[in-house]
């Protein structure tokens, strides 16, 4: 969300500014946050019901998800991983790309890796 929009709209008492975040691979919206004028525009909020937002710390390799994943802690940086029933099966006729972004985690089930 651009800072200009946040500052212009979040301070009004009669309005509620909501930031939703998600990716098409996981049913578009996965997180929700009521925004305040002092917030960082990049805050994605908390997971919507049925969604899991997990974080792979920057110093860990996403090639194998056999290690434990951490639930998001505000301010922590890393790769966002989305889990839940809404995670797609993969990309049609794109096996290599599907293998890179969609994995099965032993504890969290099917997850989507947001890496580029």
Residue-range domain boundaries for the chain = 3-113
Fold of the domain spanning 3-113? Luciferase; domain 3 (2.30.38)
Instruction: Note whether 86 and 51 are within 8 A (CB).
Output: yes
Distances (CA, A) of 90 to 68, 75, 109: 23, 30, 14
With bands split at pLDDT 50, 70 and 90, how would you rate the model's confidence at 67?
low
Per residue in 73-95, pLDDT (tens digit) is 666 677 888 999 899 999 999 99
Total number of residues shown for the chain? 116
- Please tell me whether residue 5 adopts helix, strand or coil conformation: helix
Instruction: Note whether 55 and 73 are within 8 A (CB).
Output: yes
């Amino acid at each position: 969300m651009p800072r200009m929009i946040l500052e212009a709209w979040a301070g009004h008492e009669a309005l509620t500014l909501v930031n939703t975040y998600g990716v098409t691979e996981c049913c578009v919206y996965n997180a929700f946050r009521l925004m305040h004028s002092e917030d960082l525009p990049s805050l994605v909020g908390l997971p919507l019901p049925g969604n899991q937002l997990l974080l792979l710390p920057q110093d860990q390799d996403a090639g194998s998800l056999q290690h434990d994943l951490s639930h998001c802690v505000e301010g922590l940086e890393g790769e966002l991983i989305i889990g839940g029933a809404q995670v797609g099966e993969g990309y049609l006729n794109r096996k290599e790309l599907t293998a890179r972004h969609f994995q099965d985690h032993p504890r969290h089930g099917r997850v989507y890796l947001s890496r580029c």
